[in-house]
Amino acid sequence: MRISSVIGLYFSPTGTTRTLVTAAAEQAAQTLGVPFRLISLNTPAERETIFHFSADTLVIVGAPTYAGRLPNKISPDLRRILHGSGSPAVALVTYGNRAYENALAELFRVLTDGGMKPAAGAVCVCQHSIARALAAGRPNAEDCAEVRRFAAKAAERIQKDEIVLSPAVPGDADSSYYIPTGTSGKPAKFLKSAPQTDSEKCDRCGRCAALCPMGSISSEDPSVVSGICIKCQACILGCPRGAKFFDDEQFLSHARMLEQKFAGIHKENEFYL
């Protein structure tokens, strides 16, 4: 199969998925001797473009796991904007050291329904967005090296037509979402919680508004969150003055539970070819 270019697309509010998609796309392009480019799908404006990939384009799509599946407010956008004409594709999902459950199977479904042909899949561990003690520092150099080796092998097989399209991957794309719990073991309900703003630290630079993947933070008054919050932590981690924070007790209890149960555990990346 002749591949003329590699395109890496990512939804990556905190940057870790982007790091791995970049490594995979760069290595695949190098292996094939073709150019590559990266496309962010982080903001509403970036998710307005409808993409149609040709059959000679290798498409690498990366997204994080939220509650055991793709982020439920983002997966409809992925379905709407990603389309191919039999384009070979690589699915890459990340998770924060708890479990990825059905995210990879769901991303395979999204790509297949969009007219692409998933040829390989990767599941990679990244530092958890809300429980920062989980998988701290990942992806690290070895994680990126593993992804590069995987991408090179996938590219070689695609080029030689030695691939098994839609290899079997774990999970059920039609499953329900994981129900978060708190330290008490009971369900933690924080669907409507949103980031707060420390007015003494905030200088209204607008960075949090620009980073919000739902466009929910006011650029004029960052303390105003008028839309959906998906708890991605982009505003928290991206604020240069540390002015954004969550104070919802159930949300914080869930973060503490994750750290109690999953911190200090080393999980391996998984690859499917």
At 163, is the pLDDT very low, low, confident or very high (cuts 50, 70, 90)? low
Residues 17 and 149 in one domain: yes
How far is 99 from 97, CA to CA, in rounded Å?
Answer: 6
State which residues form the domain around 239.
196-247
Residues 233 and 144 in one domain: no
Residues 94 and 162 in one domain: yes
At 161, is the pLDDT very low, low, confident or very high (cuts 50, 70, 90)? confident
At 167, is the pLDDT very low, low, confident or very high (cuts 50, 70, 90)? confident
**CATH number of the domain residue 217 falls in:** 3.30.70.20
**Predicted confidence (pLDDT) per residue in 63-110, tens digit:** 999 999 999 999 999 999 999 999 999 999 999 999 999 999 999 999
Residues 53 and 130 in one domain: yes
Q: Considering the chain, what percentage of its residues have pLDDT values greater than 70? A: 98
How far is 111 from 82, CA to CA, in rounded Å?
Answer: 7
Residues 131 and 235 in one domain: no
**Domain count across the chain:** 2
CB burial of residue 164 (10 Å; 0-12, 13-18, 19+): exposed
Residues 96 and 156 in one domain: yes
pTM exceeding 0.75: yes
pLDDT (mean) for 100-125 = 97
pLDDT computed for residue 165 by the predictor: 61
Residues 97 and 22 in one domain: yes
Residue indicated by tokens 């590559």 = 36
**CATH number of the domain residue 132 falls in:** 3.40.50.360
